[in-house]
Structure 1
Amino acid sequence: MKRILALIALIIPLQTFSQITTINRNDTIEKMVHEISPDQLKTYIEGLVSFGTRHSLSKDQDQRGIEEARQYVLRQFKSFETQSGGRLSSKIDYYTIEADGRRIPNDVRMGNVMATLKGTDPADDRIFVVSGHLDSRVSDIMNAEDNAPGANDDGSGVAALIEMARIMSKRTFSATIIFVTVSGEEQGLKGAAHMAKMAKEENWNLAAMINNDMIGNSASSGTMLRDNTKVRVFSEGVPMFETEEMERLRKYTNGENDSRSRQLARYIKETGERYIDQLEVKLVYRNDRFLRGGDHTPFSQQGFTAVRICEFNENYHQQHQDLRTENGIQYGDLPEHIDYEYLRKNTGINLAVLASLASAPSVPQEVGIDVSQLTNSTSLKWQAPAAGKAKGYYVLMRETSSPVWEKKFYTKNTTITLPYSKDNYFFAVQAVGSEDTESMAVFPKPVR
């Protein structure tokens, strides 16, 4: 009997303990994450709610309506400019949306509040955009009069942007970061469409766009779940903006799960979970939810890399609802429903990802996988990034059925041969900077 117990004691540890995972955090990024304040986030949301309604069609009134809310956000951004040493500049980008006979009955002036944190490397023209929408609504999309607090939808996203700008404006980054609160989301993604079109026409080197829409609620309606340890990232598979050449390459490589937006989503998961404790990033492999849309979509339609971050559990009693109580249920998007610790975590994911991307070199160029021979190994080659200096590279590998990268191989070279069959695994390459910050991964093109 003693011998049997001894054997069991030896077997159990092998079955219950997995391989140790080492987490290396950049000190500067970690310090910034720790500066995020739930109290500050609460102050911003209460400030936004105080304007009664932020409906995109609301009329200009003293201390009420969306224009007053725009000025409030602009004042917050402006207050951070001095500490930035001149690198942060803020403005409202006004534009006119023509009547569409649906949700825009008459031509209306809208505005996106933008805070641009200029990168410090003149040779690095990359831009990273992080957004939330300022407007709010009640049950009737055309009701611009009644109170529409919009504490979570999308006061939470706007508060996260303001808090990130407060913290990040005190630091320097190689690339440029734009914090933008758009208008007209509820009327048909108008503000995001305006900005995405502008970025396309002005030929921005827009490396990634992250949309934050509803990131402050941790309790669901119906299922009555409450959990502030999970957040979703939505990303498109087959790009909305796909050329014939892109389609041909996707079909040849079976790369429908390796779009640039999917690579950004995986980056958010790995980097976010590295810096934020007790939060799991759940990758949702669709562009957005059923019957809903988000401000990342116009950017995807213009061919940019864009994803949406959204709470894991949704409470439909609080979204797009008139303020009322029925059958003991309180309806309406009120600030008392916000989980500020959850919002702090989700703000931290955004900050860690943006700081890492904007500090890292740009992606490796001309990443290729050798398909000229039938072998049980895999050879890849690439060129150095266009911006920033890479001290090395990670070659990423995963099984074709895995949603996330499973192994990393570090090299200082721009070629590598691995004893794993290219037929059995997917690969990608990312650049590593001097501070161990990493670029997004690049899925290789077949080369002969």
Structure 2
Amino acid sequence: MKRLFWVVVWFSLVSLACSLSSSDEPTILPTLPKETSTPQPPLGYATPLPGTVEGQVNTEQQQQQIDVALFNLLNQVESDRLVMHVQTLVSFQTRHVNSSQTDLNRGIGAARNYIADQFEQIQARSNGRFVTFQQPFTLTFNGITTQQHNIIGYIQGTDTGAGVIIVGAHYDSRTYDLRDAEAYAPGAVDNGSGVAAVIELARILSQNPLRASVMFILFSAEEVGQAGQGGVGSQAFVNNYLLANGITPDQVIGMINLDTIGNWDGPNGEKNDTDIRLFSSPPNDSPARQLARSINFIAYNYRLDLNVILQDQIDREGRFGDHNSFDNAGYAAVRLIEAVEDTNSREGDDVFEGLEPAYLEKATRTVLGIIAALSSGPQPPQNIVLRDNGDGTSSLVWEPTFDAERYIVGLRRPNSMIFNQHFTVRENFTAGWANTNWQQYEAVAIAAVDSRGYIGRFSAEYKIP
């Protein structure tokens, strides 16, 4: 039976790799910006801009439609479920990679079984939309060799050619002494909160078809990774699955790492229950930063529960996460983490009582809104050109996007992490605008919006000449 199980898993992996690397790959959709790290001013509206759409497209009606759809979707997040997942993970006492693999009530094996069972329940209720399997890999840590497992869920998108978005979190934990596999290591916020959110996202998103494909991964062995390299489990996934199957960075829209998203308290009594930080690797035109800018805009535009605040580095100083593994291999990858951290309440003191369920619910709702847009909006425009009109003005022109009713044009000034200005047009071009106005900006990116009001991801940036 064990041999048969791994044969089934092998076929699942091969089938999934083929679906992502074939010419008929499922679409992955994008969604984007809000605001940046050190509070930067929100997108501006006062400057006259070319081709504004007022009166041409009923954007107010579309906004009402998307507001209702998002309201209904986000209200499916159940705080009790999130709390139950964190409580259960904490009850295993430790999820250290060298803890028990066979004890049903303690250790990383018990955690793996619980997560796998949750994904199997989601699969059973998904009408065939959600498939789950595990990726085993070998780990040697502190002189002990074990077999660890990444637990994976996958929703195949309905559209072709758009790739996949990956949402991940690590489920292992640690105590103060990283080598101690037996000490209490509850890991409630780091990273029971991220695991709970991923399970809840998979449950909700598996209930309806998505244009784009979405992959949910719970990684083992993040805590025993190395700064700058990422977690061991995520490295195994990147090397032994993505790269081994020829899945290139242009087929993966991006990886969103949910790591430590369950508390709003800082170390000195401060509280921040309105923001969430988003880390991405510089410079401002890197694939990761462009993905972050899209996420920022989406959260801003849809007025999601938490303000997404961009940070000008891949992670906190000297720290790392599973997104590093993807970023190092050229995949766009970002990390979401709570706005302030009480680092005194980590490792052995990361107990359930330190969880703020209301903040975890807000964070999960925010990510759900982002993923819903990424997986439901049109694909981004291609072949953007700034065309000189010969009269001191220029117009942006691009290829029309299938299913686009209108377009959002985002403008970024030099050295800015976010879009500083945006405007909406109906056609695949803008009216003429003075060349001196265009030259105030370093780059432009364009997103398509469908008739339901779903914003797709922004295009790759076009540098203004």
Quickly name the TM-score band, shorter chain normalised.
Answer: 0.7 to 0.9
Instruction: Indicate which of 189, 198, 208 corresponds to 1:171.
Output: 208
Q: Which residue of 2 aligns with 1:252?
A: none
Q: How do 1:27-426 residues align onto structure 2 when only pairs under 5 Å count?
A: 27-60=68-101, 61-97=103-139, 99=140, 103-121=141-159, 123-188=160-225, 189-197=231-239, 198-204=241-247, 205-221=251-267, 223-238=268-283, 257-275=284-302, 279-320=306-347, 322=348, 332-370=349-387, 377-385=393-401, 389-400=403-414, 402-420=416-434, 421-425=437-441, 426=443
Deviations 1:273-329, CA, capped at 9 Å, x for gaps: 444555322111111001210111111111111100000110111122x3xxxxxxx
TM-score normalised according to structure 2 size? 0.79
How far apart, CA to CA, are the structure 2 residues paired with 1:408 and 1:209? Answer: 25
Contact kept? 1:66, 1:135, Cα under 8 Å: yes
Deviation, structure 1 residue 393: 2.0
The residue type equivalent to 1:79 in the other structure is: Q
TM-score normalised according to structure 1 size? 0.81
Q: Which has the larger radius of gyration?
A: 1
Compared CA separation, residues 349 and 67, structure 1 to 2 (3 A): same
Q: Which residue of 1 aligns with 2:11?
A: none
How far apart, CA to CA, are the structure 2 residues paired with 1:93 and 1:312? Answer: 32
How far apart, CA to CA, are the structure 1 residues paired with 2:116 and 2:404? Answer: 37
Deviation, structure 1 residue 446: 5.3
Contact kept? 2:384, 2:462, Cα under 8 Å: yes
2:368 alignment partner, SS class: helix
Compared CA separation, residues 277 and 177, structure 1 to 2 (3 A): closer
How far apart, CA to CA, are the structure 2 residues paired with 1:132 and 1:169? Answer: 18
How far apart, CA to CA, are the structure 1 residues paired with 2:331 and 2:325? Answer: 9
Deviates more, 1:270-279 or 1:433-442: 270-279
RMSD between aligned alpha carbons?
2.5
Deviation, structure 1 residue 186: 0.6
Contact kept? 2:272, 2:340, Cα under 8 Å: yes
How far apart, CA to CA, are the structure 1 residues paired with 2:445 and 2:362? Answer: 28
Aligned pairs, how many? 394
Deviation, structure 1 residue 269: 2.3
Compared CA separation, residues 45 and 127, structure 1 to 2 (3 A): same
Deviations 1:255-277, CA, capped at 9 Å, x for gaps: xx232322222222232244455
Deviation, structure 1 residue 125: 4.8
Contact kept? 2:393, 2:432, Cα under 8 Å: yes
- Structure 2 portions without partners, runs of 5+: 1-43, 47-58, 226-230
The residue type equivalent to 1:316 in the other structure is: T
Compared CA separation, residues 301 and 373, structure 1 to 2 (3 A): farther
Deviation, structure 1 residue 105: 2.4
How far apart, CA to CA, are the structure 1 residues paired with 2:142 and 2:285? Answer: 37
1:152 alignment partner, SS class: helix
